[in-house]
Amino acid sequence: VADSELIGLHIIFHRMFYARVQWLNLLVCAMLLLKAESIEVGITYITDAVAKGAVCLDGSPPAYHFDKGFGAGVNNWLVFFETSITGTESELGTVMGHRILEMLKLLILILFHQKTNLHFRGARVFRAVVDDLLAKGMRNAQNAILAGCSAGGLTAILHCDNFRALMPTTAKVKCLADAGYFINAKDVSGAAHIQEFYSQVVATHGSAKNLPQSCTSRLAPGLCFFPQNVASQIKTPLFLINAAYDSWQIKNILAPGVADPHGTWHNCKLDIKKCSPAQLKTMQDFRLQFLNALSGVSGSTANGMFIDSCYAHCQAGTQETWLREDSPVLDKTTISKAVGDWYYDRNAIKKIDCAYPCNPTCHNRNFESFESQEYPEV
């Protein structure tokens, strides 16, 4: 949490093995990856999990990367879910450069999963990984954070209370979601594209039974994939880091390719500076919808948020936006300081930025030079 109190923190980053078409299989292949520059962390396979049915898509054992804490931080734990693609250990180093190809291949497999014998065992994998970590010392945790970026952030929200229930009752447990608060909004054509997509994913994975019952008892399972419909029922303290103009949501919820057949939004989605006045107006309206959807989180004094006006996606995973001198700031507070103050109950952190382009500290994404590295649109 960027605090001296967490020096020696157990850091466990979870690299999710699924494409965007697989969001509901939240723990399809539990890879916990340490995202620290120039540090290589060995992989741990949970081979005995196979007998319990906790397997990856292809039936292989789940695995994670683990960096053991030391000193004052030996009983402090950070479990972080990060999005990625299914693949072997040797592919991890180059998977970013092959995302589109892998996703297309994976999509084909998913469409025919009954014939190709794919396994959707996320809930079992989650439990197997946590059990393995508890045996490694997490049962003695004094402080613990379940966190994630993008779809991993959504995972952290949906599994927040589950994680709390598995941790020691004496531990201080909180959850952190970075760019995982996806909202149910209509696209620029007026269609409920993302709602239909989520419903299809839920049906494909048969995941209704693993979504919060507090939501599925009231709404269709597909709607319970949206944090705005479950956040108010989460009992464990939750912190949101999110851009009000989240670049993935703009590209895939507000203006997906299916809603923009003539590519009118193409340049705008690559670089917000190239948006027309009319497109900016549409994005400002989306921002208002996003802020309205936060009511389930803002109502609790235990929760916190850092909602900036940047065109960005995932701001906690790099030093550029997390801790550097020129990192995004709200009320003279960086993201890392906001999270630290919230976790240690030093301040009630609920910071919401003014509308774009008011914040000069933003690191706005520009996809023109590396468009192929961004996830394909859903």
> Which residues are annotated as catalytic?
150, 246, 313
Q: What is the dihedral of CA 139, 318, 311, 32, to 10 degrees?
A: -40
Q: Phi then psi for 352, rounded to 5 degrees?
A: -125, 125
d(C-alpha 318, C-alpha 68), whole Å:
21
Q: Phi then psi for 346, rounded to 5 degrees?
A: -80, -35
Beta carbons within 8 Å of 143's beta carbon, 6+ residues apart: 6, 75, 76, 77, 171, 172, 173, 343
d(C-alpha 92, C-alpha 219), whole Å:
38
User: Would you state the structure tokens that stand for residue 333, as one six-digit string?
Assistant: 């507070």
For the chain, the farthest-separated pair of C-alpha atoms sits apart, in whole angstroms, at: 58
**DSSP-derived 3-state class of residue 140:** helix
Do residues 98 and 68 touch, judged by C-beta distance below 8 A? no
Closest C-alpha to 20, from 209, 206, 191, 154:
154
Do residues 214 and 233 touch, judged by C-beta distance below 8 A? yes
Do residues 4 and 65 touch, judged by C-beta distance below 8 A? no
Return the DSSP state at 67: B
Closest C-alpha to 170, from 145, 130, 141:
141
